[in-house]
Amino acid sequence: MKVQRLRLTYSRGDQAKEMSHLETMRALERALVEAGLPLAYSEGKRRTPQISVAAPLPVGVTSDCERADVYLSERVSPDAFVGALRETMPAGLEAILAREAGLLAPAAQVQARWAEYEVDVPRSDRTLDDVRHAVSELMSSSTLPWEHRRETKVSSYDLRPLVLALRLETEGEGVYRFRMRLRILPERSGRADQVVAALGLPGPLRIHRTRLYFDATPAAVLAYRLRSDRED
């Protein structure tokens, strides 16, 4: 039985960045159980832990702003919840804070709208002017046809609406650092590595999620608005 929902903010560092989404979910479940916290499970033949992550991180990406909704079968204060969880989280995952989310409020994954990233890319042979021009061209384009390959499956879509903001922030020794704001939609989210590829640059050395933004506008309404914008 679900009697409480807490929204957990946690980080994922270098030691855990190669975890898949499924591995992360299992790690969270183990940590909750080992901490003695009253995690709620679904009823039926196959009991499923009632945990939902707002916006799953791609493998190789770090973050200090991840969110997960955790349902409990008994009430626990947010401070006690985080205190207990900090003792059992695996290396690379750290519980930061928790707050009441309300059993009837929309899920975090429904409210997630966009994410911000800090991305380091090797300079290779591209000049600073070349990179600035590539950024300007991408942001001024109306469409950006894209194909994403995963094993034998190929998905074709427009990458441009998923890129809300992009700027070259600093030029370090051997590195270009970008700031990106990428849209999160129910059917697809922007990926920093794909934006880097669209700029014609080598694969990122580091991708770090710095912020997740949530609001209460239903995701279906946002998807409708996006389709209307494309038609206009």
Query: In this predicted structure, which of 85-89, 109-113, 228-232 has the lowest mean pLDDT?
Result: 228-232
The pLDDT confidence band at residue 66, using thresholds 50, 70 and 90, is: very high
Q: How many helices (H) and strands (E) does the chain have?
A: 6, 10
Q: What is the pLDDT of residue 86?
A: 97
The pLDDT confidence band at residue 169, using thresholds 50, 70 and 90, is: confident
**CATH 3.30.70.3190: which residues of the chain?**
112-218
Over residues 115-136, the pLDDT tens digits come to: 999 999 998 888 889 999 999 9
CATH of domain 112-218: 3.30.70.3190
**CATH 3.30.70.580: which residues of the chain?**
4-105
Buried b (16+ CB within 10 A) or exposed e, 32-57: beebebbbbbeeeeeeebbbbbbbeb
Nearest to 109 by CA among 231, 26, 232, 21: 21
Q: What's the whole-number average pLDDT of the chain?
A: 90
Our measurement of the distance from residue 56's CA atom to the centroid of its chain's CA atoms, rounded to an integer in Å, reads 5
Burial class (CB in 10 A: 0-12, 13-18, 19+), 203: exposed
Query: What is the pTM for the complete model shown?
Result: 0.87
Q: What is the pLDDT of residue 150?
A: 72
Q: For 218, phi and psi rounded to 5 degrees?
A: -55, 140
The pLDDT confidence band at residue 147, using thresholds 50, 70 and 90, is: confident
Span 102-108, average pLDDT: 89
The pLDDT confidence band at residue 216, using thresholds 50, 70 and 90, is: low
pLDDT value at 193 more than 90: yes
pLDDT value at 67 more than 70: yes
Domain 4-105 classification at class level: alpha beta
Percentage of the chain beyond pLDDT 90 is: 75
